[in-house]
Structure 1
Amino acid sequence: MVSLFAYIRGNNDAAVKMNMTAPVLVNIHPRTGHLQNSTYVVHFYMPQKFQRNPPLSAEAQPVELPQHKYAAVRRFGGFMDDSNISVQLSALKKSLKDTGRDKSSASNQHSGRALLYSAAGYNSPFEHENRVNEVMLWFD
């Protein structure tokens, strides 16, 4: 995330500073059963004026995210971290049990890699109250 923050603060080939956008989307690719063994890919949405021609950087690359048809979403407050993402994801999965939209229906491919879920944060890191976050299971 430090590389992305540096990118929007002007550490790019055009030395362009950009406003922070929301949400900050984190795709989580589990390797084994626990979040500490996962790979996290953090995405900032490009401001509209840079979407066609984003400044380049060796440390941050623009990507187009795949379009999923559906998502099951659970909203929660506070600061996102491994423990509360895990708790919220478990609660979301439990709410989907026996709906036909549980484990077997979740999208398992994202750019050729397994993707079970994402987390999104909507607040500035400097906001301490009324924070809004979400965990998402994607469906196609």
Structure 2
Amino acid sequence: MNRLTLLAAGVAGAATLLAVPAEAGAVTATTTTTTVTCGASGLQSGLSTKVCAEVTGDGVQFYGQIGLAGPPSPGSPQPQPRELLTGLSGEVVGGASLGSVNGRTVFTASTVQVRGVGGTVPCGSTVHASFSVAGYPWNPAPVTVDVVVAC
């Protein structure tokens, strides 16, 4: 056999080995959209805070967000890092807890998110989340969000 014949035989053999049956190659595409709902912003520790719920199907994930309360004054120095005490909790209204996260977060000037609370809930349930931030000399003033998980 010449080289061209050997090459053609090798390509045909590889194509046979790599062939996938039509039903095995069919991919079912299901798209589930994620909806984000945030509660009203609040002022805590001199910063703007809010809590949001990301709902995808029957799954919900909560996050708290910390940002500057307003733009810095022109010519003002870069804000110093601040250590904040944060608390994020979530629950199914009238039902189970979806968890809570308490910790320390360092904030400078960029928006920071605190995550780690959520789970799967029954369709039609209302979920509730609360997010609090404390930093000397300010006490926490929690922000909340309530969302119906429609599925």
TM-score range, shorter chain: under 0.3
Quick check: which one's helix share is greater? 1
Structure with the higher strand share, 1 or 2: 2
Larger radius of gyration: 2
TM-score, normalised by the number of residues in structure 1: 0.26
Q: TM-score, normalised by structure 2?
A: 0.24
